[in-house]
Amino acid sequence: GDSVTQMEGPVTLSEEAFLTINCTYTATGYPSLFWYVQYPGEGLQLLLKATKADDKGSNKGFEATYRKETTSFHLEKGSVQVSDSAVYFCALGLYSSASKIIFGSGTRLSIRP
């Protein structure tokens, strides 16, 4: 079935380190791909998205490229800040007979000053 797999956390980095959070998916058809971020005590908010193969989504210094050949959508940032500490969710969206949005299990990121 359709699914999203992302790297388990927690991930702990020092400020200004390079970040990669891996995400791979399994889907029939051509899904849209998303990264959502959840700050402590809040709901999820969209960080970036890509709707077709080779698209690159970017926002707030984060980037992810839709790789159809490897069914991946890895999240990267060149220099993380303490304020990036949050839980990150990879998700895919499918539309056939119904709208279906499937989330990964989330990766907790902690940044040390």
Residues lying near other proteins in the complex (CB under 8 A) are found at: 31-32, 36, 41-46, 49, 51, 89, 93-95, 98-106
**Between 63 and 103, CB nearer to other proteins:** 103
Comparing CB distances to other proteins, the nearer of 36 and 62 is 36
Using CB atoms within 10 Å of the CB of residue 55, give its burial: 0 to 12 exposed, 13 to 18 middle, 19+ buried: middle
The minimum distance between CB 63 and other proteins, in angstroms, equals 18
What is the DSSP secondary-structure string of 15-70? TT--EEE-EEEE-SS--EEEEEEE-TTS-EEEEEEE-STT-EEEETTEEEE-BTTT
Residue 70 or 99 having the CB closest to other proteins: 99
Least distance in angstroms from the C-beta of 8 to other proteins: 9
